Every structure is written in C-alpha cells, then in structure tokens.
C-alpha cells in the first residue's frame, strides 16, 4: 500500500468533450455542482468552496492541457487554511478515448509531504481514498446524462 498517492479510473459512456467539460470545472469533485457549473479551469486560478463534511477548502488550477489533462492542488486535509505546497495534494485528471467512451483517471499525490503528523497524513489518505470512489460514482452518472 502506497499512502502517498491514490489512483482511480473509470470508463464513462460519454464523449471526451463531454467528460472534459466537467473535469475542467475547478473543484468539481468537492464543490457544490451549481457553484462550479460553467466555470473553466485556467492555470493559476483559485477558488474557495465549502464542503459538506470538511468546511472551507481551497483549490488552485495547476496545469491545463485541453482536452486530456488538468491538474489541481487542494487543501483537503487543512480546511480553512491558505493553500501552500506543504498543506495540499496534487490532483491530476487524465482523459483518453476508447471507441465512443472516455476513460477518466485520477491520481492524487503528495500525502507524505503534508506538514502534519503521520496519523493525520494516513487519515487524509484513507478519507480521500474512500472519497474518490464516491466522486467517481457520482461523476460517471452526471457525465452519462445528456447535458442540460
């Protein structure tokens, strides 16, 4: 078990363009859907969102390579704090096509570098591991629905 990174992927019955339009909404995995709908990831842009379980979380867009890669940094283990390298993890989304479907892959890394106790780092890793499974289930359903 590598407690520095989380890797997940899913195959979505939707076009690359459809999936990209959703992953390019900064903080889509943690923010209220209505709060980020229609926003587009721009390198260096930041947002603050209130999560149902974790309070205020900051998200910054790190890199954007439309329509196959976007990276964000977020403070999931440090709610309410300003985003820094030592209190945030990197979340990378990579998209690829498989016929008329899209494979979405997420890699979240940097738990070992979090400036907190080992116990807190492990808790953040466990919490986000569970969280990504839930995010992917909800995201897949959303992406496979016709856009409104």
Residue 51 above 80 pLDDT?
Answer: no
pLDDT at position 1: 46
Domains, the chain: 5-66+73-84+96-144 (3.30.530)
Identify the residue with better confidence: 2 or 47.
47
pLDDT at position 32: 76
pLDDT at position 54: 64
pLDDT at position 21: 94
DSSP assignment of 68-127 = TEEEEEE-TTSTTSPP-GGG-EEEEEEEEEETTEEEEEEEEE-GGG-SS-HHHHHHHHHH
Q: Which residues pair with 46 in a beta bridge?
A: 60
Q: Are 111 and 10 in contact (CB under 8 A)?
A: no
Position 123 confidence tier, pLDDT thresholds 50, 70, 90: very high
Position 38 confidence tier, pLDDT thresholds 50, 70, 90: confident
Q: What is the pLDDT of residues 52-110, one digit of tens each?
A: 666 788 999 999 999 999 999 999 899 889 999 999 999 999 999 999 999 999 999 99
CB-side exposure of 113: number of CA atoms within 13 Å? Answer: 12
pLDDT at position 50: 78
Q: How far apart are the first and last CA of the chain?
A: 41
pTM of the model: 0.93
d(Cα 28, Cα 65) in Å, to the nearest integer? Answer: 17
Buried b (16+ CB within 10 A) or exposed e, 98-120: eeebbebebbbebbeebeeeeee
pLDDT at position 3: 81
Mean pLDDT over all residues of the chain? 92
């Amino acid at each position: 078990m590598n407690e520095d990174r989380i890797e997940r992927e899913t195959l979505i019955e939707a076009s690359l363009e459809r999936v990209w339009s959703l992953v390019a909404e900064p903080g889509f995995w943690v923010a209220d859907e209505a709060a980020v709908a229609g926003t587009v990831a721009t390198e260096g842009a930041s947002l603050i969102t209130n999560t149902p379980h974790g309070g205020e979380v900051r998200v910054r867009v790190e890199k954007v390579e439309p329509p196959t890669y976007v990276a964000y940094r977020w403070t999931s283990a440090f709610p309410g704090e300003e985003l820094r390298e030592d209190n945030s993890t990197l979340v990378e989304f990579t998209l690829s096509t498989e016929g008329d479907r899209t494979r979405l892959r997420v890699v979240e890394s940097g738990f070992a570098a979090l400036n907190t106790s080992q116990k807190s780092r492990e808790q953040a890793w466990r919490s986000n591991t569970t969280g990504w499974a839930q995010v992917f289930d909800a995201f897949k359903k959303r992406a496979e629905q016709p856009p409104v």
